[in-house]
Amino acid sequence: MIISFLIDSLDRRGRIVVGLLVALALLVPAGNLLVPDGNVLHVSTYQLTLCGKYLTYALLALSVDLVWGYCGILSLGHGAFFALGGYAMGMYLMRQIGTRGVYADPVLPDFMVFLNWKELPWFWQGFDMAWYAFLMVVLVPGVIAFLFGWLSFRSRVTGVYLSIITQALTYALLLAFFRNDMGFGGNNGLTDFKDILGFPIQAPGTRAVLFAASALMLALGFVVASAVVRSKLGKVLVAIRDAESRTGFIGYRVEHYKLFVWTLSAVMAGIAGALYVPQVGIINPSEFDPAASIEAVIWVAVGGRGTLIGPLIGAVAVNFGKTWFTGVLPEVWLYALGTLFVVVTLFLPRGIVGLWGRVVTRRAAPAKEVDGSGRQAGEAA
């Protein structure tokens, strides 16, 4: 029933996206496992993993878009939730290594043995159980986001101030996770994973399943986000984005709405991180880098914020560009990324999706100019 409700909440375009993602979840692993090497349709394991990574980035972008595009909260710290989910997953994977580590300690991960720790810290307890770890993937980013949002939205910290303190949050976490005595592997982070749910993590089959899981999770995230923004709640969110004070004056508890969408978004980011870690095989504090969070924002801006398809397109396009550039012309990449930031904000306020919409509309009705509704009244005041 819930599923049919969720499916009903999709518009035509949304159904296409979800359909595509499900097809991707089936076809790409099939192309990797079933189609023989050398065939045009063959997908190498490298490509598979790379695409899986893009999909988790797309989920992160979707979560950023949910708060920024629909509620006007520019988070410069969403990478923190992504990384927290990733660390929760990483801790589970570390516990699965067991005696196969360098020091062969059945309980303690290698870095703890190296630091001469005698027993597992309390916050590592339970991470040997998959259900507990997966629960933490959702709970840790969710609870931290809830507390942070509850404090901030209640005291009406908005606009650039909020952006700056989200950045401070992720920066503080970056510094904290760099510390060895925090118990998260310090500088090196968590790596050398062996198994996930009993399957070897490097095996092609496991990788294919992880890819499919990423695609399906992204589809689920898309459906949930779609359900949220197309509901009455979503309308209130847009109202908050465009005129926060006015929405409050009408009688909506603005902070409750913001807190809900903020926490939901953080949970989505956490899940994205959890799917990211087993595919890239490492999680370290650099994921908390404020620069990484800002990059996630630019994916959304490039794709088109305030649309649900935009962040997916943006995340994949920008990251594909990054992979390509850093392979071919590494020194040009930062120029390209920097220019992208400037050009998109100046000339493409609605991103690729907006550009496409303009082209389509112009062809349909050449005389009528599209209203550039990307501009936000609440910010313009």
What is the contact surface with another protein in residues (CB under 8 A)? Answer: 68, 74, 76, 148, 151-152, 154-161, 163-165, 167-169, 171-172, 175-176, 178-179, 290-291, 294, 297-298, 301, 331, 334-335, 337-342, 344-346, 349, 375-376, 379-381
**Could you tell me the smallest distance in angstroms from the CB atom of residue 196 to another protein?**
31
110's tokens: 């290698």
306's tokens: 């305030």
Between vectors from CA 96 to CA 92 and to CA 99, what angle results, nearest 5°?
140
Residue 23 or 377 having the CB closest to another protein: 377
Question: How far is Cα 235 from Cα 380, in angstroms, rounded to an integer?
Answer: 20
What one-letter code names the amino acid at 8?
D
Query: Could you give phi then psi for residue 198, rounded to 5 degrees?
Result: 90, -5
Residue 22 or 336 having the CB closest to another protein: 336
Question: How far is Cα 44 from Cα 50, in angstroms, rounded to an integer?
Answer: 10
Q: What is the DSSP letter of 105?
A: -
Neighbours of 50 (CB within 10 A): 18
Residue 281 or 321 having the CB closest to another protein: 321
**Could you tell me the smallest distance in angstroms from the CB atom of residue 265 to another protein?**
16
**Could you tell me the smallest distance in angstroms from the CB atom of residue 356 to another protein?**
20
Residue 52 or 77 having the CB closest to another protein: 77
Give Rg (Cα) of the chain.
Answer: 21
Residue 41 or 334 having the CB closest to another protein: 334
**Tokens 């956490």 label which residue?**
270
Instruction: Classify residue 87 as exposed, middle or buried by CB count within 10 Å of its CB (0-12, 13-18, 19+).
Output: buried
**Could you tell me the smallest distance in angstroms from the CB atom of residue 350 to another protein?**
12
287 touches 82 (CB < 8 A) = yes
Residue 31 or 306 having the CB closest to another protein: 306
Residue 120 or 165 having the CB closest to another protein: 165
CA distances from residue 195 to 110, 235, 283, 362, 366 in whole angstroms, order as listed: 16, 44, 15, 53, 58
**Could you tell me the smallest distance in angstroms from the CB atom of residue 169 to another protein?**
6
CA distances from residue 159 to 70, 99, 101, 149, 267 in whole angstroms, order as listed: 14, 50, 47, 13, 22
Residue 130 or 143 having the CB closest to another protein: 143
**Could you tell me the smallest distance in angstroms from the CB atom of residue 46 to another protein?**
27
Of 370, 363, 225, 365, whose CA–CA distance to 305 is shortest? 225
Q: Which residues contact 289 (CB under 8 A, 6 or more apart)?
A: 79, 170, 174
**Could you tell me the smallest distance in angstroms from the CB atom of residue 246 to another protein?**
13
**Could you tell me the smallest distance in angstroms from the CB atom of residue 72 to another protein?**
8
